[in-house]
Amino acid sequence: MKQLSKSIRYAYWNTIKDINPLFVEAQYAVRGQVPSMAATIQEEINAGKKYPFDSITELNIGNPQTFGQKPISFNRSVLSAMLDPSILKYQSGDVQRRVTFYNDKIGFQVGAYSQSPGYPIIREAVANFIQKRDATKNRPSINDIILTDGASSGITLMFNLLLKDKNDGVMIPIPQYPLYSAVIAQCGAQQIPYYLVEEKNWSAEQQQLEEQYSKAKRNGINPRILVCINPGNPTGQVFDKQSIVEMIKFAAEKKITIFADEVYQENIYDPKKKFISFRKVANELNLDVEIYSFHSISKGITGECGLRGGYMEITSKVDSEVHFQIHKSKTIMLCSNTVGQLMTGLMVTPPTVEEGCSESTVQQYNEECKALFTSLQRRAGIVTQYLNQTKGVSCQPIEGAMYAFPRIFLSDKYVEHAKKLGYQPDVLYCLDLLKETGLVVVPGSGFLQYPGTYHFRMTILILPEEKLLAKMKVFQQWHENYMAKFQ
């Protein structure tokens, strides 16, 4: 057979022109341009190229265990024995008891499909957790609970179900988590931004909701969904009850569905703040409002991002035919992964004396959780302090979640410099920060931000805390030296 000429180019069956343009349009900044360059730099370091640092520090994503956060030992012991029954005899009596409980309901068949919405015993545990958390007699039915591969898959499922065409719109808080803008783009729907007020610690204002709703209607967009992220990502605020009341009343009046993204509900560091679920407030108000709430094992104290587990709750106000379509769609997708389902059950059902666990097991579990939480609380304080001590940087208090979203005050000279190089100013800032310090943060433009302001998002997750202090000092010195060039 004759060899093909090198000048003949292989004819690919699919090119970018053949890809769904809605998917091409979608952007996800958390793993975007800056993290991509960071991966390249790390490869170059590994190959022997010299940089002013030994390795990159990934502050772009909330991935606790990459920084050395340890998993909760009871949870991992139970999960290990479920995956490998031969080690069960070596586990404590309390672990054996929980494994036996699951085995009686599930069997050691973790590699088999579960029911499409998830194991009934885990959905039962989630329903009990929600009832206890909200201190209410109104316990959800397990048919209102769907176990998901993290919160993202539940959110994506519901966007695909509820957004019909290009005239449908989703009201998203700005700054927002980029999953929302990306999936809205994939669905061919419209973003309706409502701006959080930074000077009031990223509060959601009723006037802003009304203005953006009216503007969308004038432009022929039909607002269908109101996204509420509490605690906030990337902003770290915790909504008080009055804010939640106002958002629920707004949604009820406009007949807009609420998506309550509550994956950081355990991560509240301000002792004056507490988590209040949208579900709880809606029930107290007794308003006809449709709410879908989402939770995940990736954050909180559990921090099991890679296991991909979580749940979605469908509120009782949802039409029965819509309820059926949700379950049908989940059936088409089959079940979420069973390891994530089990970890979700462990997240919502800690060991207790009432369950029959020993006091020592309960104490160890509580001590591990407390140590993780208090460390996160301290780290939130360290990051807030150092950012606010840096000239030309301002950061609202990190009340919750796992991130800071500081504002960087860039001079007109710098903005002009960035534009001449063909960059958005915050993108150039983050790229230079990466190349000169190895710190990987995400430009605020990837989360969207109020016009004329510039920010970046960074996690608070670096361990040990001494390393976090050292990295904050590196940032502080770099920022002040870097910006001095553009005065």
Q: Check which CATH number belongs to the domain holding 405 and give it.
A: 3.90.1150.10
Residue with token string 């640092």: 53
Same domain for 245 and 325, yes or no, is: yes
Same domain for 209 and 332, yes or no, is: yes
Q: Give residue 15's pLDDT.
A: 63
Res 430 pLDDT > 70: yes
Same domain for 222 and 118, yes or no, is: yes
Res 194 pLDDT > 50: yes
Same domain for 250 and 309, yes or no, is: yes
131-179 residue pLDDT tens: 999 999 889 999 999 999 999 999 999 999 999 999 999 999 999 988 8
Q: Give residue 107's pLDDT.
A: 75
CB atoms inside a 10 Å sphere around CB 259: 26
CB atoms inside a 10 Å sphere around CB 440: 23
12-32 residue pLDDT tens: 666 667 667 666 666 665 567
Residue where a domain stops, chosen among 349, 382, 408: 349
58-82 residue pLDDT tens: 999 889 999 999 999 999 999 999 9
Residue where a domain stops, chosen among 319, 349, 379: 349
Residue 311 sits in a domain whose CATH number is 3.40.640.10
In a domain, 243, yes or no: yes
Same domain for 61 and 182, yes or no, is: no
Q: Give residue 104's pLDDT.
A: 87
Angle between helical axes of 278-285 and 241-254 (0-180°, round to 10) = 70
d(CA 364, CA 474): 36
Same domain for 185 and 235, yes or no, is: yes
| Three-state DSSP state, 443 | strand
Q: Which is more confident, 474 or 105?
A: 474
d(CA 34, CA 435): 10
Same domain for 150 and 104, yes or no, is: no
d(CA 359, CA 361): 5
Same domain for 194 and 251, yes or no, is: yes
Quote the pTM value: 0.90
Res 419 pLDDT > 90: yes
Same domain for 377 and 326, yes or no, is: no
372-416 residue pLDDT tens: 999 999 999 999 999 999 999 999 999 999 999 999 999 999 999
Domain tally for the chain?
Answer: 3
In a domain, 5, yes or no: no
Residue where a domain stops, chosen among 349, 384, 404: 349
In a domain, 295, yes or no: yes
In a domain, 13, yes or no: no
Burial class (CB in 10 A: 0-12, 13-18, 19+), 296: buried
Burial class (CB in 10 A: 0-12, 13-18, 19+), 486: middle
In a domain, 237, yes or no: yes
Q: Give residue 1's pLDDT.
A: 45
- Write out the residue range of the structural domain in which residue 479 sits: 21-68+368-485
At 299, the pLDDT band (50, 70, 90 cuts) reads very high
Size of the chain, expressed as the number of residues it contains: 487
Amino acid at 428: L
Same domain for 246 and 385, yes or no, is: no
